[in-house]
Structure 1
Amino acid sequence: MRAVACRDGQLEVVDLPTPTPGRGQVLIRVTRAGICGSDLHARTHCDESAAVADEVGYDAFMRSSESVVMGHEFTGDVVSYGPDCRRRWAPGTPVVSVPMIKHGDDAHLTGLSARAPGAYADLLLVSEDLTMPVPDGLSADLAALTEPMAVAHHAVRRGEVGKRDVAVVIGCGPIGLAVILMLKAAGVRSVVAADLSAGRRDLARRCGADVVVDPTTDSPWEATTQKRRYVTQASGLFDTAFAAMHELQRIPGVPWAKVMRVAERVGATPQGPVVFECVGVPGIIEDIVSHAPFRSRVVVVGVCMQPDTFRPAMTINKEIELRFVFAYDPGEFHDTLHMIADGKVDPGPLITATIGLGGVVAAFDALSSAEHHAKVLIDPTSDVVDL
């Protein structure tokens, strides 16, 4: 079979043997695969990622010295089964799968390990237990976006964004756009998006962002005040508290603690937006905590591959809450697939090009500084090589 392998940062179309499904595994024929920002990072920074993965207990993350077939966003058709499978779907059934596969007792990350070749290929092995049929009528293009949309679904859930909250998305690459889509699907009424690229700002609008700003000329934090008034100084907390207590203490027998809880419930105490950091470069977290309103919650979705710093004193004084998110669970993956199939979220605007395996090298080069592209899909049967 044909595949695209990465070694020492170089991508090359190669011929590989047809995979043989092992115990509990399913062989599928890839119909679409997505190029992820994680793949772009892994091409050039896999050794750093492998060192971190090793520290947290996974020692098989891809290394630059290994030849690895990447691709963890995909859909395909069932071809055959290995031993001890339940054979739940007939050959030809379109499926998606959580990109993890077991070899014996060891689980590996599909497309990010030499032990689990990915979807930049004609054929792919998946775990039957983590595989799900694509609902009738859902196109391969949209089914292939289940994985990145599940990442965004998890981030939004971890952000605990209320429908009346203001959400601010910093960075409108593929994951930022996916977060915007999932915020709107969750019913969040006010979404502010910021990106340096005019093309990506246009995509943010298509994905449903209510306010879109160029951070070189406009502040996303000022834009939040168009939707809701925030107290941005610590002194504002005390002013609000004293005002609330002054009024409510007129009621006989009401303790101060109860006064403050009532003030919180009615929104009389300061509360900032929920901010999604979707850039992943050094300095972004510091910029956000320095300029975000008092008591903002920051959800870090972007993966920064270099060491970074921010000022804890600033974060403490403004009571900024930081949450870091990673991937999703199988339930979120399943729910995302059906949200797409049911039309609750439409990731179609993310797709900006479809290429064949021969176009992967050019696509990686273009996506490293993309102005107009978001999600590039691979169709292994296509001869298209140019974006």
Structure 2
Amino acid sequence: MATMKSVHTGGVGRIEVVDVERPVPGPKDVLMRIRAGGICGTDVTFLHMGGMPARAHLGGEMVPVPLGHEPAGEIVEVGAEVSDLKVGDRVVVNPQDAPTGIIGCGGKYGALSEYLLIENAEIGKGVAVFPETVPFAVASLNEPMAVARHCVNRSEAKPDDRVVVFGAGPIGLGAAIWLKLRGVRHVVVVDVIPSRLEKALAVGADAVIDSAEEDVAARLTELHGQAANALGQPRPGTDIYIDAAGVAAVFNTVVGSAKWGAKLVMVAVQKKGTEIDLGGMLRSELTLVASQGYPTEIFEVTPELVEHHERFGKLISHTVPFTEVERAFELTLTPGAAEKVVVTFDQYPS
């Protein structure tokens, strides 16, 4: 039996690199050799939990989770009935298309492994092919950039809109890039870490705000002009707010700053519930829009990711070889230590 190495949760706050059986593709499947895989906040959530509940609704015990759902790699085996893919194709994956469960999120397979089985492989459904001009590490951003793209699609931002993005992590910065590629005239990014704000400017944001040092509403008024809420109280002229930070302070800031008819798009997971000033929302007729995953965007983003790969590549702060995957997770688990960590598998032979 051929084996491979795979990263699983190993208890609270720990990973474990285990030897598991290397998958064998069936007639409709392909086997992908992973060349790069991003670490996501969802992976960190599973680590904090120590796995995933076996039967969540019954309070079942935690079971290990194969981690990783942001892979890029190349096909090394092709099932007999697969006609549109061939050995050597460089591909990215739709983790939600796997019939054995979402890849890296409780399904049978995780993408932080040497190999990944793509079941019922079909271009445009489970995989998309990308050219040699794009590094594998940058291609691995396809999945998180689909999350960011869905958020921007949900915002329905138009060229004349003035937009602010809270949170300069990969999703927030990805949203800023998509907004600018969409032609939005003015995009502001807000964060508390100066290096992240520098990166926001590097990828095309028009302005940044350090919310630890500046009054956000006052600065937005300088940048976007003054408007008012339904009661005539002065408010920044910002049209769309995007929450890619997931902290209560952002929600409260938006409700307190929103002009009449503003929109808030929530893409970040709210880690803790918070009281919402419903009266404040009423006074602004603030529209709250939730954005979850990527219903149609997973491969919608791929051609533009290819075209603008150098710009998207700036989102990666660290590339770490799989032989040092523990260090990669340490970086991700340490607040402020890294922005986007990608694990590379270049040291493994074909």
Q: 1:289 to 1:197 in 2, by over 3 A?
A: same
* Offset of residue 46 of structure 1: 7.3
* Offset of residue 279 of structure 1: 0.9
2:188 matched residue in structure 1: 192
Of residues 14, 21, 24, the one that matches 2:25 is 21
Gaps of 5+ in 2: none
| Counterpart contact for 1:33–1:144, Cα < 8 Å | yes
1:144 matched residue in structure 2: 140
1:159 matched residue in structure 2: 155
1:350 matched residue in structure 2: 315
| Counterpart contact for 2:46–2:65, Cα < 8 Å | no
Of residues 2, 5, 17, the one that matches 2:5 is 2
Q: 1:44 to 1:50 in 2, by over 3 A?
A: farther
1:249 matched residue in structure 2: none
| Secondary structure of the structure 2 residue equivalent to 1:30 | strand
2:85 matched residue in structure 1: 89
2:116 matched residue in structure 1: 124
Q: Distance in 2 between matches of 1:159 and 1:49?
A: 34
Of residues 55, 71, 74, the one that matches 1:74 is 71
Matched, 1:294 2:291: no
Q: Distance in 1 between matches of 2:283 and 2:221?
A: 21
Residue by residue, what CA displacement relative to the aligned partner does 1:42-99 show, whole Å, maximum 9, x if unpaired?
2214779999xx78xxx9xxx872122211111111122346x423222121111111
Q: Distance in 2 between matches of 1:344 and 1:315?
A: 39
TM-score if structure 2 supplies the norm length?
Answer: 0.87
1:329 is matched by which residue type in structure 2?
A: P
| Counterpart contact for 1:192–1:220, Cα < 8 Å | no
1:307 matched residue in structure 2: 273
Q: 1:204 to 1:35 in 2, by over 3 A?
A: same
1:214 is matched by which residue type in structure 2?
A: D
Of residues 339, 344, 350, the one that matches 1:379 is 344
Q: Distance in 1 between matches of 2:50 and 2:162?
A: 35
Q: Trace 1:1-387 onto structure 2 (pairs within 5 A).
A: 1-9=4-12, 10-22=14-26, 24-45=28-49, 65-82=62-79, 85-103=81-99, 108-113=101-106, 115-127=107-119, 128-129=121-122, 130-236=126-232, 272-330=238-296, 332-343=297-308, 346-371=311-336, 373-382=338-347
TM-score if structure 1 supplies the norm length?
Answer: 0.80
Give % identity. 28
1:90 is matched by which residue type in structure 2?
A: K
Residue by residue, what CA displacement relative to the aligned partner does 1:251-286 show, whole Å, maximum 9, x if unpaired?
xxxxxxxxxxxxxxxxxxx96421110111344323
* Offset of residue 101 of structure 1: 4.2
1:265 matched residue in structure 2: none
| Secondary structure of the structure 2 residue equivalent to 1:76 | strand
Report the structure number with the largest CA radius of gyration: 1
Residue by residue, what CA displacement relative to the aligned partner does 1:151-175 show, whole Å, maximum 9, x if unpaired?
1111101101111111101111111
Q: Distance in 2 between matches of 1:184 and 1:368?
A: 30
**What is the count of residue pairs matched by the alignment?**
338
User: What RMSD, in angstroms, separates the aligned Cα atoms of the two structures?
Assistant: 2.7
Q: Distance in 2 between matches of 1:355 and 1:32?
A: 10
